[in-house]
Structure 1
Amino acid sequence: MPVSISPYEVAINQLENAAKLINLESEILEILKKPQKIITVNIPVLMDDGSVKVFTGYRVQHNNFRGPYKGGIRYHPDVNLDEVTALAMWMTWKCAVLDVPFGGGKGGITCPIKYMSIREKERMTRRFVDMIANEIGPEIDIPAPDVYTDAQTMAWIFDEYSKLKGYPVYGVVTGKPVELGGSEGRKEATGYGVAACVKEATKYLGLDIHSTTVAIQGFGNVGYYAAEKLYEYGFKIVAVSDSQGGVYIKEGIDPKELLEYKNKTGSVIGFKDTKKISNEALLTSEADILVPAALENQITGANADKIKAKIIVEGANGPTTPEADEILFKKKVLIVPDILANAGGVTVSYFEWVQNMQRFRWSKEEVLKRMEEKMIKAFHDVLSLSENLKIDMRNAALSLALKRTAEAYRLKGREF
């Protein structure tokens, strides 16, 4: 079972460790520990039954040394400021690792989203935009989809913000429908980026793709598209899970067939010829590569020593605790960290923003090709630093991100 651990404490622990590795100046470290701005609003929403409920919304702007704040907005009953602050910090590092000219931000609303109608969601979204409109914009802070938000949510944000400004502002959000200035390739981007990292890690360890097995925890957008691309590359997908449980078959699974089955039944459980397993069992199943693409804190000190995978590629945000990191590093398990592995999404978000600002559109093939190139370069940038400093890839990724962020600060010549 996942343990209860503060995401912000994890983020600070990671930051301090990386800062020591690159001898980061203490004053810059202190600045980067805290977000530059925290916006909290209480959002009154007219419900379908005529009542009014008030939901708390957050937008945390961690750092803009390298460009406008960038990060998703999530709707979930468990959204809290600690989580959103950590995610905003991780977005700063994610953009820096990929050398995307954005800083980090994140937002969320604490609400019972599964029990809200589409009209209630729309009213809540538009009211949220009204309340934070002066804090977002194409050159200030650019939201995107996250947990239980999607292209439709971004369309509402785009429309409401544009109404307030009096003209269409396509660059205010990314992840929009293609018809409203969204980018081709956005829905596949994060999963395909994860797959690109899996392929590069496999080549680095000298494994044969066609005999290498993969287990994927989570079969949402990220997990599915990672599976689809890995299957296309020739990997054997032997285990997959969703929120209700998982399935395992050593002969391998066709992810498109599994998706069709899940769409019909509501879960991957019971897919033909497979053995039912739990989410916890999937993490320690017989597979060469593990892709946690579900929730945070899944790989912990309690189960890390039982993991059999040679490579872990983090499709989810924060799936591995610091204690587990240490155990796995000693076991010589290669971990491709979340701020690198799942950065395909923010990379294509950047491409969408560029297309919006230029009033120009790229083809899906061009978008995904550029994304893969950027992911591969970032993978080898991090791997090279990891080898030079003899550290794991998480610390290498954070160190690289910190170097780039700190250098932007120094070059601006800011004084206290």
Structure 2
Amino acid sequence: MSNLSYIAQNHGPWSTYLEQIERVTPYLEHLKGYIDTLKRPKRALIVDVPIVMDDGTIQHFEGYRVQHNLSRGPGKGGIRYHPDVDLNEVMALSAWMTIKTAVLNLPFGGAKGGVRVDPRKLSPRELERITRRYTSEISHIIGPQKDIPAPDVGTNPNVMGWIMDTYSSGQGHTVTGVVTGKPIHLGGSLGRIKATGRGVFVTGREVAEKIKLPLKGAKIAVQGFGNVGSEAAYLFAESQSLIVAIQDHTGTIFNPEGIDLAELKIYFETNQGVAGFEGAEMISDEDFWNVEIDILIPAALEGQITIERAQKLTAKLVLEGANGPTYPEADDILIQRGVTVVPDVICNAGGVTVSYFEWVQDMSSYFWSEEEINQRLDKLMVQAINDVWHTSNEKICSLRTAAFILGCERILKARMERGIFPG
């Protein structure tokens, strides 16, 4: 059996997270006694989501909402609609949200949700029905002071609007703060859609400068061309980097001279994918990992950088736009090869940061300009990556371990100071 097959069969996202916790434990000193707090979710809900399809048949879908840790505040985390959603994945994603919000020092805990469904196979009416029924099933554990969902893979502002409306109907009044990532006219925040990709760029820019990697002329490969990957690509292109390879669910395109993103944007909007774009050649999905590049941005799903791929990756810098894209064993290989990895819990935290801004604006009914949003986001992201960099140098460890040290210390200190009830 190959290493790739072994990992695929034996390493789910939750196992990856637990291994990350094991690796950070030796650095936590007097807080080690509380480490089991991070090894199990506080609350996990599995719900049946039955809906009437457009053809009159009844179908059942399985939904989840996991609250991993609420020691530092209400849960925060997206809702994913994808055919591969399962409890293992949602638990891991909720746990990474716990670490992420702590690394950014946001007053939230970690949560995540999802429904096992392919939203591309649903009509708009079916999508609305499944969203409203799922919301009704989890409504008793969410709320602006309990747990605040947001968009993720397969969901968007419209879905968040339906969640807000369904929840509000049960409360008897409009509750804008129950979700973030809503349409602007329903209490959404300017800058939210582009925030995660912007955070990838800001952290990447800061670390590239620290490792003396010039962005001008740097060759970049991007996996995933949704909100995260596309926005990061545009911002790097504005810094005169060359986006030479892009992979999405339709295939992989490559142009060693750089892909024209303005032309690709027009093509992508029409064709809903990058495959067939005339400004680049099609290559195999596996060849994406062999392209000569300086920076890799995995911005799709978890579990993409395997041992085999890590061994041949040419990038000097990896910016994790996705959650959990790198297996721990692959992480070790990248470290041994001198590749700098900016981990997901800080790299893609721009989205949850602006979600925090949206929540604050909803609670005060006072809204900021997009310029103000971006300035506040950039300031927090720069401060956070500098804190992680400093911890990495101080503890002589990877940026991932450093981020987990910061996050775990903040979470476990909160747990310790709150105490255990009953004593």
TM-score range, shorter chain: over 0.9
The CA deviation at 1:273 is 4.4
C-alpha distance in 2 between matches for 1:30 and 1:396:
19
The amino acid of 1:401's aligned partner reads G
Q: Tell me if 1:355 matches 2:361.
A: yes
Q: Tell me if 1:306 matches 2:312.
A: yes
Q: Tell me if 1:337 matches 2:343.
A: yes
The equivalent residue for 1:96 is: 102
The CA deviation at 1:358 is 0.6
| 1:320 equivalent among 326, 333, 336 | 326
| 1:384 equivalent among 379, 386, 390 | 390
The equivalent residue for 1:10 is: 16
The equivalent residue for 2:72 is: 66
C-alpha distance in 2 between matches for 1:164 and 1:175:
21
- CA deviation vs aligned residue, 1:198-257 (integer Å, no higher than 9, x gap): 111110111222122211111111110001111112222121121122222222123222
Preserved contact between residue 59 and residue 107 of structure 1 (Cα < 8 Å): yes
Q: Tell me if 1:156 matches 2:162.
A: yes
The CA deviation at 1:188 is 0.5
Preserved contact between residue 217 and residue 279 of structure 1 (Cα < 8 Å): no
C-alpha distance in 2 between matches for 1:103 and 1:26:
19
| 2:379 equivalent among 373, 379, 386 | 373
The CA deviation at 1:77 is 1.7
The amino acid of 2:96's aligned partner reads W
What does 1:6-405 correspond to in 2, within 5 Å?
6-23=12-29, 25-405=31-411
Preserved contact between residue 84 and residue 116 of structure 2 (Cα < 8 Å): yes
C-alpha distance in 2 between matches for 1:32 and 1:259:
41
Preserved contact between residue 148 and residue 179 of structure 2 (Cα < 8 Å): yes
The CA deviation at 1:276 is 2.0
The CA deviation at 1:279 is 2.9
C-alpha distance in 1 between matches for 2:377 and 2:55:
45
The CA deviation at 1:339 is 0.7
C-alpha distance in 1 between matches for 2:132 and 2:289:
40
Q: Could you tell me the percent identity over the aligned residues?
A: 47
- CA deviation vs aligned residue, 1:68-127 (integer Å, no higher than 9, x gap): 000011112211101000000000001001111100000111124222111111111111
The amino acid of 2:108's aligned partner reads F
C-alpha distance in 2 between matches for 1:252 and 1:244:
19
Q: Which stretch shifts more, 175-184 or 266-275? A: 266-275
- CA deviation vs aligned residue, 1:107-154 (integer Å, no higher than 9, x gap): 111124222111111111111222221111000000001111110110
- CA deviation vs aligned residue, 1:312-369 (integer Å, no higher than 9, x gap): 0001111110110000101111000011100000000000000000100000111111
Classify the secondary structure of the residue corresponding to 1:253. Answer: coil
Preserved contact between residue 299 and residue 320 of structure 1 (Cα < 8 Å): yes
Structure 2: gaps (5+ residues): none
The amino acid of 2:133's aligned partner reads R
The CA deviation at 1:270 is 3.5
The amino acid of 1:163's aligned partner reads S
Root mean square deviation of aligned Cα? 1.5
C-alpha distance in 1 between matches for 2:117 and 2:247:
26
C-alpha distance in 1 between matches for 2:47 and 2:278:
48
C-alpha distance in 2 between matches for 1:24 and 1:230:
42
Structure 1: gaps (5+ residues): none
Preserved contact between residue 283 and residue 290 of structure 1 (Cα < 8 Å): no
Q: How many residues align?
A: 416
